[in-house]
Amino acid sequence: MHAMVLKKLGAALEWTELADRQPGPGEIRVNVAACGVCHTDLHVVDGELPDPKVPIIPGHEIVGRIDAIGAGVEGLHVGERVGIPWLGHTCGVCPYCARSQENLCDRPLFTGYTRDGGFATATIADARFAFPLGETGSDVALAPLLCAGLIGWRSLVIAGEGKNLGLYGYGAAAHIIAQVAKWQGRTVFAFTRPGDVATQAFARRLGATWAGGSDETPPQRLDAAIIFATVGDLVPLALKAVRKGGRVVCAGIHMSDIPSFPYQLLWEERQLVSVANLTRQDGIDFLRLAPEIGIVTETTRYPLIRANQALADLRAGRFDGAAVLVP
Ligand SMILES: [Zn+2]
Ligand SMILES: [Zn+2]
The span from the CA of 318 to the CA of 186, in Å, is 29
How far away, in angstroms, is 150 Cα from ligand 1 center?
A: 20
Whether the predicted pLDDT of 320 surpasses 90 = no
> Which ligand is located closest to the Cα atom of residue 94?
1
Segment 105-114 mean pLDDT: 98
H helix intervals, the chain: 39-46, 95-98, 139-142, 148-159, 172-183, 197-205, 234-241, 280-293, 307-316
pLDDT score at 228: 97
How far away, in angstroms, is 214 Cα from ligand 2 center?
A: 23
The span from the CA of 237 to the CA of 260, in Å, is 12
How far away, in angstroms, is 180 Cα from ligand 1 center?
A: 30
> Which ligand is located closest to the Cα atom of residue 228?
2
The span from the CA of 284 to the CA of 128, in Å, is 12
**Is the Cβ–Cβ distance between 120 and 141 less than 8 Å?**
no
Provide the whole-model pTM. 0.94
Q: Mean of the per-residue pLDDT values for the chain?
A: 97
Residues with CB under 5 A from ligand 1 (ion): 90-91, 94, 97, 105
CA 227, distance to chain mean position in Å, is: 13
Model confidence band, residue 206 (pLDDT cutoffs 50, 70, 90):
confident
Amino acid at 73: V
Quick one: three-class SS letters along 29-69?
Answer: EEEEEEEEECHHHHHHHHCCCCCCCCCECCCCCEEEEEEEE
How far away, in angstroms, is 96 Cα from ligand 1 center?
A: 6
- pLDDT tens digit string along 270-297? 999 999 999 999 999 999 999 999 999 9
How far away, in angstroms, is 40 Cα from ligand 2 center?
A: 5
How far away, in angstroms, is 61 Cα from ligand 1 center?
A: 22
> Which ligand is located closest to the Cα atom of residue 322?
2
Segment 250-255 mean pLDDT: 94
How far away, in angstroms, is 311 Cα from ligand 2 center?
A: 13
- pLDDT tens digit string along 18-64? 999 999 999 999 999 999 999 999 999 999 999 999 999 999 999 99
Model confidence band, residue 207 (pLDDT cutoffs 50, 70, 90):
confident
